[in-house]
A and B are shown apart, each in its own frame.
Chain A
């Protein structure tokens, strides 16, 4: 079953067309990398998938539920980490997680237990009572991922989650999400412009100037385009140096 299906999605801001007939799917338990340069339309796509923007043209389906027709049911299946940090800096890490849990209707006791469990898994449990203002960039990102997992989503959306992190922090975050994908069978859509974040067994969607210009398994992109690496394939598809 498709965890996420995007069908002929288009969007514009006034006369500026940002997305044009975007279509692709993310299968259950798979990690899909949405590759695109800055301004390719990745964040707009995330805003449409999460219902922050209304999709006038095209369809977004989450586990066969149309986002436009039943946004609450679709959103209940999603965990989202936005490009911009969305933690409340005046609250502690634990309070941020419990606030999110309340918005998803989790009972208080379950919410407390889950917040400890998720923060522990991401190795930031020792900061549970610290205000997020006091955390480093990497710790905040991990808290955001823990928060996105609080309600047990089956689809995880991450919009450039490694932006602002150092190389070890990026590697650790990437590994953690891959583990989630493998252990819990969560489908992941990971938007990035860092080509080194693509692994051979990932699925890849290349987005350029609002259009999907390639989609398929990562290990096929280079052979199909007759080049030696994902980086060369990306450069060829997007015309970037």
Chain B
């Protein structure tokens, strides 16, 4: 694989993702509105009923809005990853995936490029949300916006790789309703995005254990700590390990010899 060829392909994939994203304005709009609705309505309602004790990385009592913003940023990455995964399934059904997979580059590289492009396209919206959240008095240190960048990229890649894996196993777009119900919602709700672990433990040990082992919780905590200029080593290791595992599994799923492609029949 030649480096200049690989970079041009990455550039082409990134441009395509950006153009598609900009031309799907309704999707862009809903991606921005979703976390704001959670912040403006859900968090406002929970603020009065959900007391939070001092939980790292916070050094004092914080408003529920402050607690929930990193979780909502991770939620944006999760939904973006799943939308990207759905686009992969759509591309496969519509045929345009064939173009990508018959490019003269290793398949793992093409999938990695697509994954990276998707994350790059999704990040500006997350930053926009983090800045808009300042109107709700969620004001992390200014340097936190810089420190959170690698955490957002790593978390986005891990969730994107998970989406890639889901797309490699989905035979048709209709299956995605099931994915939403049985994968995305449990992943989001059984995590530390909306409540800290000790709160979940009060509801039940099983739920708290699930949340502790949920890789989405690690993504949330990595983002939360980075935004407040702290580093959570355990969360980072979990996110990196899951990224590698999900990506390798997705590459296997798209392998012409072992994946879904080889098991399905052609048209004629």
Which residues of A come within 8 Å of B, CB atoms? 13-14, 16, 18, 36, 38-44, 46-47, 50-54, 56, 71-76, 78, 80, 82-91, 95, 98-108, 160, 193
Q: Which residues of A contact B1 (CB under 8 A)?
A: 72
- Of the candidates B4, B101, B110, the one whose C-beta lies within 8 Å of that of A105 is B4
Q: Which of B7-15, B58-66, B189-197 contacts A (4 or more CB under 8 A)?
A: B7-15
| Contact A53 B268, beta carbon cutoff 8 Å | no
- Which B83-138 residues sit within 8 Å CB-CB of chain A? 94-96, 98-106, 110
Can you list 16 A-B contacts (CB < 8 A)? A13-B263, A13-B264, A43-B266, A43-B268, A46-B266, A47-B266, A52-B256, A53-B256, A72-B1, A83-B268, A86-B98, A98-B15, A102-B15, A103-B103, A106-B8, A160-B268
B172: interface (CB < 8 Å): no
| Contact A16 B268, beta carbon cutoff 8 Å | no
Interface size on B, residues (CB 8 A): 41
Q: Which residues of A contact B264 (CB under 8 A)?
A: 13
| Contact B95 A84, beta carbon cutoff 8 Å | yes
Task: Output the nearest chain B residue to A54 by Cβ-Cβ distance.
Answer: B257
User: In the complex, what distance in Å separates the CA atom of A36 from the CA atom of B268?
Assistant: 9
| Contact A103 B9, beta carbon cutoff 8 Å | yes
| Contact B19 A91, beta carbon cutoff 8 Å | yes
B204: interface (CB < 8 Å): no
| Contact A103 B105, beta carbon cutoff 8 Å | yes
1/0 per position for B251-266, CB-CB distance to A under 8 A? 0000111100111111
Q: Which residues of A contact B20 (CB under 8 A)?
A: 88, 90-91
Task: Output the nearest chain B residue to A147 by Cβ-Cβ distance.
Answer: B99
- Of the candidates A54, A100, A106, the one whose C-beta lies within 8 Å of that of B99 is A100
| Contact B104 A44, beta carbon cutoff 8 Å | no
Known interface pairs A13-B263, A75-B103, A95-B19; A102-B9 also in contact (CB < 8 Å) = yes
Q: Which residues of B contact A87 (CB under 8 A)?
A: 96
Q: Which residues of A contact B101 (CB under 8 A)?
A: 51-52
Known: A43-B266, A102-B9. 8 other contacts (CB 8 A): A39-B268, A41-B268, A43-B267, A95-B16, A99-B12, A102-B13, A103-B13, A105-B5
User: In the complex, what distance in Å separates the CA atom of A211 from the CA atom of B15?
Assistant: 43
Q: Which residues of A contact B24 (CB under 8 A)?
A: 90
Known interface pairs A39-B268, A54-B257; A72-B98 also in contact (CB < 8 Å) = no
Q: Which residues of B contact A98 (CB under 8 A)?
A: 12, 15
| Contact B266 A51, beta carbon cutoff 8 Å | no
| Contact A72 B102, beta carbon cutoff 8 Å | no
- Of the candidates B8, B16, B110, B258, the one whose C-beta lies within 8 Å of that of A88 is B16
User: In the complex, what distance in Å separates the CA atom of A102 from the CA atom of B126?
Assistant: 28
Q: How near does chain A come to B185, taking the closest CB pair, in angstroms? A: 28
User: In the complex, what distance in Å separates the CA atom of A107 from the CA atom of B264?
Assistant: 36
Q: Which residues of B contact A80 (CB under 8 A)?
A: 98, 102
Q: Which residues of A contact B95 (CB under 8 A)?
A: 82, 84-86
- Of the candidates B2, B11, B19, B265, the one whose C-beta lies within 8 Å of that of A13 is B265
| Contact B265 A105, beta carbon cutoff 8 Å | no
Q: How near does chain A come to B237, taking the closest CB pair, in angstroms? A: 34
Q: How near does chain B come to A57, taking the closest CB pair, in angstroms? A: 12
User: In the complex, what distance in Å separates the CA atom of A108 from the CA atom of B264?
Assistant: 36
| Contact A103 B100, beta carbon cutoff 8 Å | yes
| Contact B268 A40, beta carbon cutoff 8 Å | yes
| Contact B268 A38, beta carbon cutoff 8 Å | yes
Q: How near does chain B come to A19, taking the closest CB pair, in angstroms? A: 10
Q: Identify the 9 closest CB pairs spanning chains A and B, nearest first.
A: A102-B12, A105-B5, A54-B257, A84-B95, A43-B266, A103-B103, A76-B104, A75-B104, A44-B266
